[in-house]
Amino acid sequence: MVLACALVVLTSYASFASPALAVAGEAQGPAIDFRPMRALFGSWNCIGQGEGNVRHVSTTTYALTLSGRWLHVHVFSPPYASRSWVLESDGYITFDRNRKKWIAIFFANEGGYSVLHSDGWHGQDFVWHSGPPPTFDDYREIVQLTKPTQYQMTIRQRSATANFQTVAVGVCRRGTPTGRQQRKHA
């Protein structure tokens, strides 16, 4: 019985250790070039409209993390008239050299998640497509740099007729979190 348990533990350890070693080995490769994303680094105060044209505010912060190989994105949105709870989301962005795509993975405290990909900037526009490449594309997030200190975010969803419809828009201005948001992230 002890031998059987030891075998299970060793087998379990080996199955977890191998992927961990592979990831550790990959971290020794060339650094990710985040220069194309530098325009977004820092904190942004956003005012958006969506979900029945309800206006809401949020703070979005972009910062390098995990040995400089991921760009961490944190979104904090306090309650508003039609949502009585705080929405928080964490996302991680990196560049997949094999696919030559930017990849993003987001998780939210209400249980939502998304996997997005992008070809990168085209002028002042950066378009995120839903799903890992080259799969479906039924959701898009479009970031448009309108000034060095401002960007517009447009969220479009594919409708039942296969056309994209705008479901939310927002404008974000460079700034620092205030009040509870600042204390929470300090």
Q: pLDDT digit string (tens) for 78-97? A: 888 878 888 899 999 999 99
pTM of the model: 0.74
CA atoms of 41 and 141, how far apart (whole Å) = 18
CATH number of 35-185: 2.40.128.20
CA-to-CA separations, 130 to 114, 156, 169, 183, in angstroms, rounded = 7, 10, 17, 33
CA atoms of 68 and 138, how far apart (whole Å) = 30
CA atoms of 164 and 185, how far apart (whole Å) = 35
Please give the pLDDT value at position 12. 32
CA-to-CA separations, 70 to 1, 45, 64, 150, in angstroms, rounded = 44, 22, 6, 23
64: β partners: 71
CA atoms of 133 and 130, how far apart (whole Å) = 8
Please give the pLDDT value at position 137. 64
Q: pLDDT digit string (tens) for 22-59? A: 444 455 667 899 999 999 999 999 988 876 667 888 99
